[in-house]
A and B are shown apart, each in its own frame.
Chain A
Amino acid sequence: MNEMAPRRTIGEYVPLVDGPEKVSGRAKYTADLIGLGMLAGRIFRSPFSHAEILELDVSEAAKLPGVKAIVTGADCDKGFGVLPIARTEHPLARERVRYCGEPVAAVAAIDDATAKEALKRIKLKVRELPAYHTARAAMAPDAVDLHKHRPKNIERDVYFELGDVEAAFAAADLVREGVYNCPEVCQNQMEMHAAVADYDVERDRMTVHASTQVPYYVHLMLSQILGMDMSRIRVVKPYVGGGFGCRTETLNVELITALLARKAGGCVRTMVNREETFITHRGRPETDIRLKLGMRKDGRIVAVECECIQRGGAHSGYGVVTILYSGSMLYAIYDLHNVKYIGKRVLTNTPPCGAFRGHGTVDVRFAFESLLDEMAHALGIDPFAVRRTNLLPAPPLVTDNDMMVNSYGLPECLDWVERESGWRERKGKPAKGNGVRKGLGMACSHYISGASKPVNWTGEPHATVKLKLDFDGSIVLLTGAADIGQGSSTVLVQSVAEVLGLELSRIRIVTGDSDVVPKDNGSYSSRVTFLVGNAAIDAANNLKAVLVAAAARKLEAKPGEIECLGELYRAGAQDKGLTFNEVVTEALKDTGTITVTGNYSTIPESHGGKKYRGAAIGGTMGYSYSAQVVEVSVDEETGVVTVDKVWVAHDCGKALNRLSVEGQVQGSVWMGMGQAMSEETAYHDGLLLTANMLDYRVPTIQDSPPIEVGIVESNDPHGPFGAKEAGEGSLAAFLPALTNAIADATGLRFNDLPVTPDRVFAAVEKRARGRKTNGGA
């Protein structure tokens, strides 16, 4: 007989526990929840960018047979918003509309055709106000304030200076400044926004199914908007078709659908289309960056000055946090000491921005890694060498802005991509021919594994998981953590199974139903694996203690003598022992069904400091690190840039599921590629022109390169099994690695994104004209 051994899956390639549902069409997303008699919801949106509402007439719409409810701003005077300090947005505009597409009214009707017809009968009379579609215009001295409580349209001014920046620049051997523009980009997740709200008139209870990353926030905001006690609300998260940050915040769609359901006294399904999903937005703001670096001859960075202006859109949303991340995350990747940061988050008459994958860090990283590359080139230093010169000392350490770093795999990431890409053999020997130039570029990036402080500070543990074990010997894992495709359910099941030494199939996971699962702070800031993973391990250890005690009692041994082999518990190697089911039967004798709780709280040292206002933003239990090499071909006759291959190494602490880590890293890199090469929104007088996937150009399978992933395991001392995040940190490095590669191939540097064929072609032409006028080749 083979020796019984506990089952282990941590570190293996594990397909998703909910994969069979997704590949068979059985997975139900919000829009798939079709019920008999449910009403169709539709939203009437402002055609104006900025206007005072004079009259909203819904009387003709209300007369249409089949219309069951109409809601307007008059139905709700409460504000909502993700940050407790900025809950000033209304689900339906009141008094003023502030962006083209802002919801003004909504209709619930017996079918979609009737609801659509009703929208046509709604009349909106306004007095138009000056509209500002750029940050610069909104900041003009004579600009009208979008919100009374935000003078000069500044959502937040951030300023900090740590060290002596002026003196450090004066002492530097090389000082350079660059100006960078990163346009607004959207998550454009595949599932369009949808909500199903069911109001029980008899019991005064509301059930909402929503495509959200944070059911808990939806719960809070429904209570606030509806004026209903939280105990009367149930929020369910079905399968969610991606989020990438736009579903962290509660969206107007969910709130409007609930308002409609209550007014209609029934069940309403609202499915907004792709155009409306783009307008609902919450993407990465357009960011203008002025960056100045001071460097010693040996490549050491001695001074940093960064100014960052973000066009935030018409409402506060996540704005304050985004502009703070852009400054605080200058730190914790390189050893920096004299840093000045000036950030401005501006309110404009465009749809509100939010938290897009790599929240606040991506555009600044693009600027930083671009300028670093340019300066290294000027000093004749290899791009890898300049980064190695500026590495952090060995952890543990605390940065100048009080960020705690306990593990740091960036050196190994650099080694891996340098070796695997053949950098040393190939760099500086670009192949040319037929007007195509090849080049190699590299860059680094990092990200947090969960914000250490939750948005809503309640004093509760940061994460809670429950396990239920019953007579059948199955374990049910209950969590509010929202799997949105990133594989969080799989990693939580793996974590519990690992501690107990059981097959994954013994464990079932239930997520996202507020009636059943413990509250969770949600799927944002790459927090789930680290924070909820640790809570799952804690819960599994607590369950194991109960089982070991039961086994000891039955075997007449001491708990310390019990060996847990997953399916077998025994007192020493000679003992026949008890099967898992026998242990469960014994354990249930005391209490019946067993439920255990696992908790996790971040430590105060991870909460960031108080050196400047907002210094807590950027604090985390563990930073992930990434290095990338990108190989490009640039066709100078057409301006087309082709990414031939990407090598990316990601320090995720420990790969709990190698398949998921690879998938997350590849997805991040690729999303960075979209932003770098083709994605950007465009407006005409505030009207979103790119509200479809043809004009908002997402890379297709034919545009997309092979992406080779190296996993670096720095074993974070606090991480679950040593793990850190894997789903965001590799996005940012792609952007500068691409432009650095283009510079390597052509000598042309692109500081404005995206690098489209038009821009490349124009730059090649300009260079050719310059050569002619200079009499050069």
Chain B
Amino acid sequence: MARILQLTLNGRARSDAISENVLLLDYLREFVGLTGTKTGCDGGECGACTVLVDDQPRLSCLTLAATVEGQRVDTIESLVSDGRLSAVQRGFHEKLGSQCGYCTPGFIMASAGLLRRNPRPSEDEIRDALGSNICRCTGYVKIIEAVKYAVDLHAAGASP
């Protein structure tokens, strides 16, 4: 069955005909062409597909696109503003929170979600917020440094 999905995707209103059983992940990647959101597993294991739905981190691989009707969905592509990296993106770039880069969009969206609800997280709160994202390159040490650096940039006025 097809239906019309209306949502605000990366700040723009969209209206698309989709089938009811399409996953938000596939809608974003295959239908809209926003391939920044990654597929890393067979469902809910790795966090690579994390996006924000009304500012809350969500696994797009476990979300039917039809269920975000009327909501705001933000993907990694939305974070750059006026061509500039956001605080979290800059943190991951400059502190090497990203090596191969494949888990990075998921980590960055989960971190951005954290900073939107808690601009001053402790290290434990950072670990909690990123506990369902897997990275296979960094050992997470520099991911934590990246988020801490982003917290400072955010405090100095950069968007998360």
Q: Residues on A close to B: CB < 8 A?
A: 15-16, 18-29, 31-32, 34, 187-192, 239-242, 244, 271, 273-275, 484-487, 659-660, 662-663, 666-667, 669-671, 673, 692-694, 698, 700-702, 704, 706-707
Contacts and interface: CB of A to CB of B under 8 A. Distances in A.
Given A22-B92, A23-B101, 15 more contacts: A19-B92, A19-B93, A19-B94, A23-B104, A24-B79, A24-B89, A31-B35, A190-B38, A190-B48, A242-B99, A663-B99, A673-B139, A701-B143, A702-B131, A707-B139
A188 B96 CA distance: 20
Given A16-B93, A190-B40, A701-B143, A242 B104 contact: no
Nearest to A187: B136
A485 B46 contact: no
A486 B99 contact: yes
A701 B136 contact: no
B42 A190 contact: no
Nearest to A668: B139
Interface band, chain B: 35 or more
Contact of A190 (B30, B95, B96, B134): B134
Given A21-B101, A22-B104, A666-B142, A15 B96 contact: yes
Contact of B100 (A32, A190, A666): A190
A21, A190, A244, A671 pick with most chain B CB within 10 angstroms: A190
Contacts of B89: 23-24
Contacts of B132: 700
Contact of A704 (B41, B76, B92, B139): B139
A18, A188, A244, A701 pick with most chain B CB within 10 angstroms: A701
Nearest to A484: B100
B54 interface: no
B38 A700 contact: no
What 8 pairs across the A-B complex have the smallest Cβ distances?
Answer: A25-B36, A485-B100, A670-B139, A241-B102, A22-B101, A25-B76, A32-B35, A693-B45
Contacts of A28: 35
A626 to B, nearest CB: 14
A576 B100 CA distance: 45
B105 interface: yes
Question: What DSSP secondary structure best describes chain B's contact surface?
Answer: loop
A666 B139 contact: yes
A720 B4 CA distance: 59
A660 B90 CA distance: 16
A670 B45 contact: no
B101 A274 contact: no
A25 B100 contact: no
B33 to A, nearest CB: 7
A23 B108 contact: yes
A147 to B, nearest CB: 32
Contact of B93 (A15, A190, A192, A673): A15
9 contacts: A18-B101, A23-B101, A29-B102, A189-B102, A190-B103, A192-B40, A662-B96, A667-B137, A706-B141
Contacts of A669: 139
Contacts of A29: 38, 102
A660 B96 contact: yes
Contacts of A32: 29, 35
